[in-house]
Amino acid sequence: MESAKNWFRRKSGGSAMDETREEVVSKQTKERVEAAKKYIENHYLQHARILQERRQRRSILEKRLGEKHMSREEKHRIVKQLEKKESEYMRLQRLKTGVEDFEILAQIGKGAFGEVRLCREKTSSQIFAMKKLNKSDMIRRGQVEHVRSERNLLAEIESEFVVKLHCSFQDEEFLYLIMEHLPGGDMMALLSSKGTLTAEEARFYIAETVLAIESIHKHNYIHRHFLQWAHLII
């Protein structure tokens, strides 16, 4: 039986050009194989990292619960609650949501790594804020870990003082965080519209900020801007 290589050579007139073509084909194939290998490796590394982070979160929670005076049932209930949230998070990851599942309505803000947009989820018609972060920018500025922590924290935390994360996904260029939309604007907008806050208003916003920071500390995270303020105060 004629080999595929001979058949190809016969059909294409068989010449020195074939060798070059074969070389090109095999170079392309090698590159594809490399890319596929990298993809699979990354996939498993990421999976292992997610599992490790999940185990860490559980052991931190168990350690913290061990220090608390609570009934065994109450501790069990809290651990189960974490497990439920973790599974829900994995489920959202598996659903493979993409940017095409959202209709962009307007730009509402700009942060250090990208824009925040108002959007509507096409299936549910729910309104969210979409934070779109440029991945190569993050890598260049060494902020990958910061952004990963932000994403993990938002997914983990349940506090009325911290914005809720609906889901997150990425494409070749960007990382997307789909968050609950907070229509009240930020402190900057408040200060520029009001000029000066009354003592009572200032007390209110500072108290909310302290509660938000307290809730992230409970999850063993520290806010980098808070770290800067602390440096300024000290």
- Contact residues toward ligand ATP (CB under 6 A) are 108-113, 116, 129, 131, 163, 179, 181-182, 186
Q: Closest separation between CB of residue 15 and ligand ATP, Å?
A: 59
**Gap between the Cα atoms of 234 and 230, Å rounded:** 6
Q: Closest separation between CB of residue 183 and ligand ATP, Å?
A: 7
Which one, 106 or 233, has the nearer CB to ligand ATP? 106
Q: Does 37 carry a binding-site annotation?
A: no
Which one, 47 or 141, has the nearer CB to ligand ATP? 141
Q: Closest separation between CB of residue 106 and ligand ATP, Å?
A: 11
Helix H, strand E, coil C: the string for the chain is: CCCHHHHHHHHCCCCHHHHHHHHHHHHHHHHHHHHHHHHHHHHHHHHHHHHHHHHHHHHHHHHHHHCCCCCHHHHHHHHHHHHHHHHHHHHHHHCCCCHHHEEEEEEEEECCCEEEEEEEECCCCCEEEEEEEEHHHHHHCCCHHHHHHHHHHHHHCCCCCCCCEEEEEECCCEEEEEEECCCCCCHHHHHHHHCCCCHHHHHHHHHHHHHHHHHHHCCCCCCHHHHHHHHHHC
Q: Closest separation between CB of residue 131 and ligand ATP, Å?
A: 5
**Greatest CA separation found in the chain?**
91
Which one, 63 or 110, has the nearer CB to ligand ATP? 110
Q: Closest separation between CB of residue 153 and ligand ATP, Å?
A: 12
Which one, 48 or 227, has the nearer CB to ligand ATP? 227
Which one, 78 or 108, has the nearer CB to ligand ATP? 108
Known binding residues for ATP: 131
Q: Can you say which residues are annotated as belonging to the binding site?
A: 131
